[in-house]
Amino acid sequence: MNSPEPGTKSPRARAPGPAHDVDDALYEKSQKIYPREVHGVFATARVAAATVLLGVFYCLPWAQWNGRQAVLFDLPARKFYLFGLTLWPQDFLYLTFLLMLAAYSLFFFTALAGRLWCGYACPQTVWTESFLWIERLIEGSRQQQMKLDQSPLSLRKFRLKASKHAIWITFSLFTGFMFVSYFTPARELAVSLAAFDLGPWEWFWLGFYGFATYGNAGFMREQVCKYMCPYARFQSAMFDKDTFVISYDGKRGEPRGARRASADPRAEGLGDCINCTMCVQVCPTGIDIRKGLQYECIGCSACIDVCNDVMDKMKYPRGLIRYTTQHELDGGKTHVLRPRIIVYGVILVLLCGLFGWRLAQRLPIGLDVLHDRNQLYRETAGQIENVYLLKVINKDDAAHQYHLTVDGIDGLAFGNNVSAVHAASGAVVNFPLSLRAREEALTARSMSVRFTLTAVDDPTLTVNAEAKFLGPIP
Ligand code: SF4
Ligand code: SF4
């Protein structure tokens, strides 16, 4: 991270002289950034990524699967629906897997190619890009926006500003609505909203998420990345000299300076940078990449695209600003395969394999058995009886009839007739059950018994649960 160039005035610089002469404020008001529109390979990739991600976010809640919303986080019922998969609180392990996968993916891709997440997939970047696009559509190019902001209030200025904010607010509220749709079915929510009949939490989250979108993407923009996002602060810990980051090739570019397109820069003692400042004008965080790697750089690649355009116009080779590594800039060789990449990669592959295997092994059926806490056992006509509370969980999309058996002691039998259990899709069926065994069949004061629950229509849906059968000392 470099300090400001010599000659530039630091915001904290103080003029010499008595304290009362100091006119530099300790707090500098943030200046609005007007990023210039850019075209190129990376800009296209960014637009494609934003389109796909926003498309998924806005469309997914409308998709149906087996008669219900395909992706729904039903918090009151404590169930997460992900297409054909229903996750229960007992499936917390899968959430842990997903979080670990997300963390290691971030480590892996950041160590490999810097802030790919920030530049292409972070919601702050994606929504800010969308808001910037709306702003350009209404207020025009960078120069037109700056001119409009500097001009006095007029009917035209009011009309343009009001239109922009009206579209931003509508878009933000729609975003808030879609966010809530992941927790309350979208179709029901739309009907309730049309009737102004949402619950208090639904109103709150719709408004809160909408307001956050409007504020963060419309006004805060780069300040979220610079001052609020913790990732910007620790990402450099994941970089090394072989990480691909967006860099300005100072050896090739310096000394920078203006020249005629036909001039030979070497003959004029100049490098390839013509000091056009286009790379600064397109930067959404307003930094100058020529000062070196800075934590404010979100890795959006806009400066690569625009500088390549400049190089084309000057008939110089592209890549004065490019994805490169510190080793390469120093004249060395880049090592893509290095210990940290291999370790992250192996952990990622293992986690993916383990996650897939656990998912494939997962059965949509659950059985919990709890021994009656009030009475250890009771004796009835030479038989010992134990009472249990059984909980059958049907995590499947279809209702099932289950067959219940028990073994572990000679002659063990049910005291009540519960060998068949019916459970609707997503239902939890609780019922008491007693087991009886002859006293002479007991070989210990506490013996293990095993319950087996099998779906009648699908024998692969089988689950076992162990419990203790208690009796007098034999
Ligand atoms: S866009 Fe390229 S040529 Fe222009 S100032 Fe930036 S680095 Fe130099
Ligand atoms: S320096 Fe370049 S890559 Fe970094 S944020 Fe600015 S435009 Fe994007």
| Weakest mean pLDDT among 5-9, 213-217, 232-236 | 5-9
Q: Which atom of ligand 1 is nearest to the CA of 275?
A: 5
| pLDDT at 317 exceeding the cut of 50 | yes
| Spatial CB neighbours of 469, under 8 Å, sequence gap ≥ 6 | 377, 384, 386, 408, 409, 412, 435, 437, 442, 446, 447, 448, 449
Structure tokens at 235: 């990402």
pLDDT tens-digit profile of 127-183? 999 999 999 999 999 999 999 999 999 999 999 999 999 999 999 999 999 999 999
Q: Is the pLDDT of residue 10 over 60?
A: no
Atom of ligand 2 nearest to the CA of 321: 2
CA of 276 to the centre of ligand 1 (A): 6
- Ligand 2, atom 5, lies closest to the CA of 297
Query: Is the distance from the beta carbon of residue 246 to the nearest atom of ligand 2 less than 6 Å?
Result: yes
Q: Compute the distance from residue 430 Cα to the ligand 2 centre, in Å.
A: 59
- Burial tier of 408 (Cβ tally within 10 Å: 0-12, 13-18, 19+): middle
Q: Collect contacts of 349-357 with beta carbons under 8 A, ≥24 apart.
A: 351/97, 351/100, 351/101, 351/104, 352/101, 354/97, 355/94, 355/97, 355/98, 355/101
CB 281 within 8 A of CB 35: yes
384 CB burial (10 A radius; 0-12, 13-18, 19+): buried
Asked if the model's pLDDT at residue 19 lies above 60, the reply is no
Tell whether ligand 2 has an atom less than 6 A from the beta carbon of residue 118: no
The protein residue with its alpha carbon nearest to ligand 2, atom 8, reads: 300
Please tell me the predicted confidence (pLDDT) of residue 3.
Answer: 38
Using the 8-state DSSP alphabet, how is residue 28 labeled? P
Which residue's CA lies nearest to atom 7 of ligand 2?
283
Distance 313 CA to ligand 2 centre (A): 21
Measure CA of the first residue to CA of the last residue in the chain; give whole Å: 78
Q: C-alpha 167: how far from its chain's center?
A: 26
Q: Pick the residue whose CA is nearest to atom 6 on ligand 1.
A: 279
Element (H, E) at 64: strand 64-65
Question: Is the CB–ligand 2 distance for residue 43 below 6 Å?
Answer: no
d(CA 404, CA 417): 10
Q: Which atom of ligand 2 is nearest to the CA of 279?
A: 7
If residue 72 lies in a helix (H) or strand (E), which one and from where to where? Answer: strand 71-74
Cα 304 to averaged position of ligand 1 atoms, centre (Å): 9
User: Model confidence over 240-263: pLDDT tens digits?
Assistant: 999 999 999 999 999 999 999 889
Q: Quickly tell me which residue has 């609780």 as its tokens.
A: 430
Does ligand 2 come within 6 angstroms of the Cβ of 303? Answer: yes
Within 6 Å (CB) of ligand 1, which residues are found? 248, 253, 256, 273-279, 290, 306-307, 310, 320-321
Atom of ligand 2 nearest to the CA of 304: 2
Q: Give the distance between the most distant pair of CA atoms in the chain.
A: 113
Question: What residues contact residue 197 under an 8 Å CB cut-off, 6+ apart?
Answer: none
Cα(194)–Cα(207) distance, rounded to whole angstroms? 16
Q: Which ligand 2 atom is the nearest neighbour of the CA of 289?
A: 1
Confidence of residue 23 (pLDDT cuts 50, 70, 90): low
Query: What is the model's pLDDT at position 283?
Result: 96
Return the pLDDT at 384: 93
Q: Do the Cβ atoms of 425 and 68 come closer than 8 Å? A: no
- Three-class secondary structure assignment of 208-247: HHHHHHHHHHHHHCHHHHHHHCHHHHHHHHHCCCCCCEEE
How many Å lie between the centroid of ligand 1 and the Cα of residue 414? 83
Q: Which ligand is nearest to the CA of 277?
A: 1
Report the atom number in ligand 2 closest to the C-alpha of 246. Answer: 3
| Mean pLDDT of the residues in the chain | 90
d(CA 367, CA 213): 44
pLDDT at residue 18 tops 60: no
**CA 289 to centroid of ligand 2, rounded, Å:** 7
- What pLDDT is stored for residue 405 in this prediction? 92
pLDDT confidence tier of residue 474, bands split at 50, 70 and 90:
low
pLDDT at 2 over 70: no
By DSSP bridging, strand 68-69 and strand 64-65 are: antiparallel
Instruction: Find the 283 Cα to ligand 2 centroid distance in Å.
Output: 5
Partners of residue 383 on adjacent β-strands = 380, 438
365 Cβ closer than 6 Å to some ligand 2 atom: no
Nearest to 175 by CA among 7, 258, 57: 57
* Torsion sign (Cα): 121, 93, 178, 398: positive
Q: How far is the CA of 193 from the centre of ligand 2 (A)?
A: 41
Q: Which ligand is nearest to the CA of 301?
A: 2
Provide the residue type at 392 as one letter.
V
